[in-house]
Chains A and B, each alone.
Chain A
Amino acid sequence: MKHVQPPNRESNGEEGEKGREEHFLSSLLESGIVTAVLSLGLGVLVLLRGHDATTLSDLNHYAPLPLDFSQVLAAAGRLDPLGLLSLGIGLLVLTQVAVVVAAGALFLLGGDLLFAIISGTVLFFIIAGMSLGLR
């Protein structure tokens, strides 16, 4: 262990580079979340308009979120509330995956191979976790 002084961001511009990475990832998250919120908000409005008399117990009869995104996209195109809601939830989840991929790509482009490998490994474990869960 040794004592070191805090990083000097003015001296090497490294912090500025990190700032750009963070800004990009933040913008990526923002665009994904805004699209998801629009889809979910519209879905809730369509649902409320078309299903005024629905009770909470009836909700169990709704189909669960399917993984077939072609069906979801087709339903969303018809302004089907379930399609819109499913699309919103799917976008929310995929945005997080996109953030890990984008972080890895940024590190790779910035020549930081160590963190590019770390990001890739995290992505691998996410996929491995999904595969195990699906078994």
Chain B
Amino acid sequence: MPGTDLLGEFEHLVLLGILRNGEQAYALPVRQTVEQVTERSISRGALYRTLDRMETKGLVAWSLEPPTEARGGHARKRYVVTADGLQALRRTRTVMDRAVVGLEGILAEGS
């Protein structure tokens, strides 16, 4: 039931990465964004598989852009977050916010 499921951690990060890259939300910039935010290396396969899975769930959509020489004559996908995707992001955030109420002191950095 996609309408009520919470996002997985990696799905969450990838959706945010797509939003952050706006019109430039191709796989490579999204991966770089997630790597910067998490400060760790992200496997290409994991990213592509997650994008495929979220497409199946209806959380993201893509459009194909024409091939360029820099890409060896291969097309590329530009991703957008769907309405369902946005809703899932909001729901996950709300749940997480609720979950940390009263724990701010413990969770504050340096405590």
Check if A and B associate. Answer: no
Tell me the B residues contacting A by CB distance below 8 Å. Answer: none
